Chains A and B, each alone.
Chain A
Amino acid sequence: MHIVDGALSNPVVIAGAVAAVGGIALGLRSLTLERIPAAGVLSASFFVASLIHVPIGPSSVHLILNGLAGLLLGCAAFPALFVGLLLQTVFFGFGGLTVLGVNTVNIALPAVLAWMVFGRLIGRGSPVQGAIWGGVGGAFAIAATTGMVAVSLAMSGDEFLPAAKLVFFAHVPVMAIEAVLTGFAILLARKVKPELFVKGLPA
């Protein structure tokens, strides 16, 4: 989901950068120095998780798991996912420089929204119930990310509209996979470390 330089119009790029700065500032406010190790290590784990390729039919997809990042990190997911994207861009050549803001917002905003809507639900009831809400949250985040990528392309020019629509529908299987994986990851975390979702991240 990395948009490249040169594809988007200037207003979209600038709006994305402004929104990203706002989101990162908001996320940093919730990040006391005591929580930085947890956020940093989780940010690194999501970087590593994006290296996992999951087979789907004859092809494979790589994981994004931004929903899971949001569910675990809350507002801090914004700066954490930005850091991951920055490192991917600079050292791996993924995405682009001027579109870093747009890419950050497209991935991190759905993560934070998933946390706001489903964050409380995953800690409640039995682990399976929590896992199901986690799965819903994971699917929601990917759907929102794909939707936002499509919208940022469509706002830059009508010529991208057909591609944007096709990309959205092509990502439906990815949403299903992310949902299942997020659900099982939450299930395991609920069973192995139940206190994690009761009091949130170690402060």
Chain B
Amino acid sequence: MAHALGQNEKTLTETGALRVSGRIGSVDPRVRILAAISFGIVVVGLSSLMTLSVALGLSMGLLLLSRLPLRPTLKRMAMMDSFIIFMLLLLPFTVPGDPIFTLWGATASWQGLWRGVEIALTANAVILALMTLVGTMEPVTLGHALHKLRMPETLVHLLMFTIRYIEVLREEYLRLRAAMKVRGFRPGTNWHTYRSFGYLVGMMLVRAIERSERILQAMKCRGFSGRIHLLQDFALTVADRRFVALFGGALLLLICLEIAWR
């Protein structure tokens, strides 16, 4: 996953950091989460390539509205696990149907090719909508919004702690890697590398557990009584309602197009 992250890029933005998210940024976080989920469900249900292209276009429109940097976002959207890409490339050869060409005795079929394109369009449309609608939120706001959407409190607290400590632990990891580097460590395919990485992970975990003990002590010292209060409150505005109407209309349009073009 590291290839998704530049050298000096942070993992998650810090609380209070300025986020540029254009028109999307002003919409109620709860509405954005629900919009992304309903978009995902509708798009996964679509099957005609034309409708899926319209859906991807809709996601692109959201991307423009959100004013996220275009290039890195599209790169992240298109990035998939190598095994998924491999699976898509294999599809034309594994789905029986009208042949396109034959390669080393295996026949590629149109049906398989279209199935591969369909999956790629669906995956990219949904993930792009999710990144523009929800990914533009401050991570902490996401936690609060999920709490307001009735996600169990314990899970929200777990999410908040994870968000809070990812960047801290990543800095610790980079420090450990720097320490290894100045001692002449160069990763390669050998036992020494694997042992060193194993110790690195072990050290990170031991430090993490000791850190969590200190956190708990600090929390108790400040009168932690077993409940963390989530203070952020949200209110629906007229603009939010307009967004809901527009977005709902767009989803309905997708469903109608699907029925018309099937």
Contacts and interface: CB of A to CB of B under 8 A. Distances in A.
A binds B: yes
A37 B212 contact: yes
Contacts of B155: 24, 28, 79, 82-83
A26 to B, nearest CB: 12
B158 A43 contact: yes
Interface in A29-54: 31, 33-34, 36-45, 47-54
Contacts of A37: 161, 212, 215-216, 219
Contacts of A177: 194
Contact of B205 (A80, A86, A90, A185): A185
B182 interface: no
B211 A159 contact: no
Given A189-B205, A193-B206, A87 B12 contact: yes
13 contacts: A4-B84, A34-B226, A41-B215, A45-B204, A48-B169, A48-B170, A48-B204, A57-B189, A88-B1, A180-B195, A185-B199, A187-B199, A196-B206
Interface of B: 1-5, 11-12, 36-37, 40-41, 43-44, 73, 76-77, 79-81, 83-84, 86-87, 90-91, 93-95, 112, 115, 118-119, 121-123, 126-128, 130-131, 134-135, 139, 142, 152, 154-155, 157-166, 168-170, 173, 187-189, 191, 193-195, 197-206, 208-213, 215-216, 219, 226-228
Interface of A: 1-7, 13, 24-25, 28, 31, 33-34, 36-45, 47-57, 62-63, 65, 68, 72, 79-80, 82-84, 86-98, 153, 158-164, 166-167, 170, 177, 180-189, 192-193, 196, 201-202
